[in-house]
C-alpha cells in the first residue's frame, strides 16, 4: 500500500517560499497504488487540486473520499477537484454524518455567491455513505475503520489496511480525553505507520489547550504506546516555516526515534517506510 501526501498543512494554505519544502497545501492524502482504478483520498483540503489533475489522466471510474470532518481547511479544495465535474466518474464520500447533511454541507462550498457552479450541476455521479466508528467498511481496495478524535465539533480518524499493511490517520486530535486516547492507541496498535496531528510544540500547546490539536510530544507518546513502526508528524501550523519544522522534528526524534515529518511529494511504500 502506498501513501502520498498532497497537502500537509492545517488551518490555512501557506504559499510562502520558506514553507514549500514540506508543503503549503491543506490536508489531502492518497492511499493505494498508482495503478488502482479506485483511488482512495482522505480529506479535500487545498491539496486535492493536484491529484484531481493526475486522476484525470488515469483510467479511473470510481473515487473514494474519506472525510474526517468539515472544518474549512479539510474541504476547501473540493471545488477545484477536476473529477467532480467529469461525466462518467463516480465519487463516493464517506463521513460520520447522515448523507443528506453531507450533501448540504458540501453544497455550501459551491453556493451563490461563493462559486459559479452549484453542487447540483456537477458532472460526476456522487454518492454519500454514513460510516459508524468501530464498524469496518471497504473503500475500494482498502479496509477502513473510523474512530473518534478529540476535536471541536467532532472529527474521526481512519485505520486503513491493505495487503497486510496498516496505516492510521489521526489528524485534528487533541490529547487528553482518556477514552478517545485509548481508542486511538487501540486502532494504532502495531500499525506500520501513524500519521498524527502534531501542530504545536509543547510550549505552544500550553497556550492553546482546548483548540483541538496536539503537540509533537503527544504524538510521540501515542506512537510509543501503540508500538507503531513509524510516526509522521502532520497538520503543520501555518506559522511554522520549514526550518522551524526541522527543529520540531529533531526534538520529536528524541522522544520517539522513528519519527519523520509529513511532506508533500512522491508516493511512499507503507511497508518499507514503516517497520
Which of 119, 129, 169 lies closest to 149 in space, CA to CA? 169
User: In this structure, are residues 25 and 45 in contact, taking their beta carbons and an 8 Å threshold?
Assistant: yes
Which pLDDT value is given to residue 23? 97
Which of 261, 272, 178, 264 lies closest to 222 in space, CA to CA? 178
CA–CA distance, 18 with 24 (Å, rounded to integer): 9
- The total of structural domains in the chain comes to 1
Residues linked to residue 98 through DSSP beta bridges, in sequence order: none
Which pLDDT value is given to residue 273? 65
Expressed as residue numbers, the domain containing 126 is: 2-273
Q: 225: domain CATH number? A: 3.60.15.10
Strands (E) across 70-115 are located at 90-95
CB count, 10 Å around CB of 249?
Answer: 16
Q: Give the chain's count of helices (H) and strands (E).
A: 7, 14
Q: Please give the grid coordinates belonging to residue 195.
A: 500519521
User: In this structure, are residues 83 and 63 in contact, taking their beta carbons and an 8 Å threshold?
Assistant: yes
Which pLDDT value is given to residue 275? 56
- Cα–Cα distance list, 128 to 105, 115, 155, 173 (Å): 12, 22, 17, 24
Which pLDDT value is given to residue 274? 58
CA–CA distance, 269 with 1 (Å, rounded to integer): 6
Dihedral, 102, 126, 29, 159 alpha carbons, nearest 10: 70
Task: Burial-class residue 174 by CB neighbours within 10 Å (0-12, 13-18, 19+).
Answer: buried
Which DSSP state fits 185? H
Mean pLDDT by 10 residues, the chain (275 residues): 96 96 98 85 98 91 96 97 95 98 95 93 96 95 97 97 95 97 97 98 96 98 97 98 98 98 94 69
Which pLDDT value is given to residue 36? 79
Q: Please give the grid coordinates belonging to residue 9.
A: 498543512
Amino acid at each position: 500500500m502506498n501513501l502520498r501526501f498532497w497537502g500537509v498543512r492545517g488551518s490555512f494554505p501557506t504559499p510562502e517560499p520558506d514553507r514549500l519544502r514540506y508543503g503549503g497545501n491543506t490536508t489531502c492524502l492518497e492511499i493505494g497504488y498508482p495503478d488502482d482504478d479506485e483511488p482512495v483520498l482522505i480529506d479535500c483540503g487545498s491539496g486535492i487540486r493536484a491529484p484531481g489533475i493526475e486522476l484525470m489522466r488515469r483510467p479511473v471510474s470510481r473515487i473514494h473520499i474519506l472525510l474526517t470532518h468539515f472544518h474549512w481547511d479539510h474541504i476547501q479544495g473540493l471545488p477545484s477537484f477536476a473529477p467532480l465535474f467529469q461525466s462518467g466518474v463516480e465519487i463516493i464520500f464517506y463521513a460520520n454524518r447522515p448523507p443528506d447533511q453531507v450533501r448540504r454541507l458540501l453544497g455550501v462550498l459551491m453556493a451563490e455567491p461563493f462559486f459559479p457552479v452549484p453542487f447540483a450541476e456537477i458532472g460526476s455521479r456522487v454518492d454519500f455513505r454514513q460510516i459508524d466508528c468501530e464498524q469496518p467498511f471497504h473503500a475500494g481496495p482498502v479496509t477502513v475503520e473510523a474512530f473518534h478524535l478529540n476535536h471541536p465539533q467532532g472529527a474521526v480518524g481512519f485505520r486503513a489496511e491493505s495487503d497486510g499493511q496498516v496505516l492510521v490517520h489521526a489528524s485534528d486530535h487533541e490529547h487528553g480525553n482518556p477514552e478517545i486516547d485509548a481508542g486511538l492507541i487501540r486502532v494504532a496498535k502495531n500499525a506500520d505507520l501513524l500519521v498524527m496531528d502534531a501542530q504545536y510544540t509543547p510550549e505552544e500547546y500550553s497556550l492553546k489547550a482546548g483548540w483541538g490539536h496536539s503537540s509533537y510530544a503527544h504524538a510521540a507518546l501515542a506512537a510509543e504506546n501503540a508500538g507503531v513502526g513509524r510516526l509522521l508528524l502532520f497538520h503543520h501550523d501555518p506559522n511554522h516555516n520549514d526550518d522551524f519544522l526541522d527543529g520540531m522534528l529533531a526534538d520529536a526524534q528524541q522522544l520517539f526515534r522513528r519519527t519523520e515529518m509529513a511532506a508533500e511529494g512522491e508516493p511512499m511504500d507503507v511497508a518499507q517506510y514503516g517497520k
